A and B are shown apart, each in its own frame.
Chain A
Amino acid sequence: GAVVSQHPSWVICKSGTSVKIECRSLDFQATTMFWYRQFPKQSLMLMATSNEGSKATYEQGVEKDKFLINHASLTLSTLTVTSAHPEDSSFYICSAHNPGPDGYTFGSGTRLTVV
């Protein structure tokens, strides 16, 4: 149980375009989801907390107009990287708070490459 599906697993886009990443909780309702970014050999960096039905809470230094988060249902949160640039190339991972004892379930991650 407590599966989180993240798509796409990898994407290559041109500089200046936008990319949408989806994160779905498959067998539980997730009122709260989290978006992380991870650069090579670095730890997870929390970007924002996504709350169903309300605005996301962004961490300091994360541009809310560049990283648009929508959490319109109890099972889906999306992250849109707008006007992507090469420096946005990274591994993006979502997670969801699940009601079980283990607490948090991660998606499989999305490798974004901006060329």
Chain B
Amino acid sequence: QKEVEQNSGPLSVPEGAIASLNCTYSDRGSQSFFWYRQYSGKSPELIMFIYSNGDKEDGRFTAQLNKASQYVSLLIRDSQPSDSATYLCAVNRGSYIPTFGRGTSLIVHP
């Protein structure tokens, strides 16, 4: 069974710090990896996607993928209170249906 594991948190960081969110997956054939942000009562919105090993940076966000170790992480630099949300990791193999983790709740306190 394909599984995507995330620590449910909450992860609490002070404003301006780096928030590090982690995700592990069980399917070695996974090819696409996504990070979504979901505010309470809203639907998920895509933050980053990554396909290749290594880092991918977009503004304050960096996704890191290590296929050998089967983990993908999201770093948020200069965390802001507006970053407080639940972050969902999703993984899929080609055109298969993505599998979502349970999400990590992030709290950025002033």
- Residues of A whose CB lies within 8 Å of any CB of B are 6, 34, 42-44, 46, 49, 91, 93, 97, 101-109, 111
Is A44's CB under 8 angstroms from B44's CB? yes
Report whether A104 and B102 are in contact in the complex, using a CB–CB cutoff of 8 Å: no
Q: Are A109 and B34 in contact (CB under 8 A)?
A: no
Q: List 15 A-B contacts (CB under 8 A).
A: A34-B97, A44-B88, A44-B100, A46-B100, A49-B97, A91-B41, A93-B43, A102-B34, A102-B49, A103-B34, A103-B49, A103-B92, A106-B43, A106-B44, A109-B43
Known: A43-B88, A106-B45. 7 other contacts (CB 8 A): A42-B102, A44-B44, A44-B100, A103-B32, A105-B46, A106-B44, A109-B43
Pick the contact of B101: A6, A43, A104, A109 (CB < 8 A). A43
Instruction: Give A77 Cβ to nearest chain B Cβ, in Å.
Output: 15
- Per the CB 8 Å criterion, the residue count for chain B at the interface is 20
B46 lies within 8 A of A43 (CB): no
B82 located at the interface, meaning its Cβ lies under 8 Å from any Cβ of chain A in the complex: no
Most A-side CB within 10 Å, residue of B32, B36, B43, B45 = B43
> Hey, which chain B residues are within 8 Å of A6, CB to CB?
43
Which residues 20-62 of B have a CB within 8 angstroms of A? 32, 34, 36, 41-46, 49
- A46 and B97: CB pair below 8 A? yes
Please indicate the chain A residues that have their CB under 8 angstroms from the CB of B44 in the complex: 44, 93, 106
Q: Cβ of B43 and Cβ of A97 under 8 Å apart?
A: no
* B37 CB to nearest chain A CB (Å): 11
Docked Cα-Cα span, A104 to B98, in Å, equals 9
Which residues of chain A are near B100, meaning CB under 8 Å?
Answer: 43-44, 46
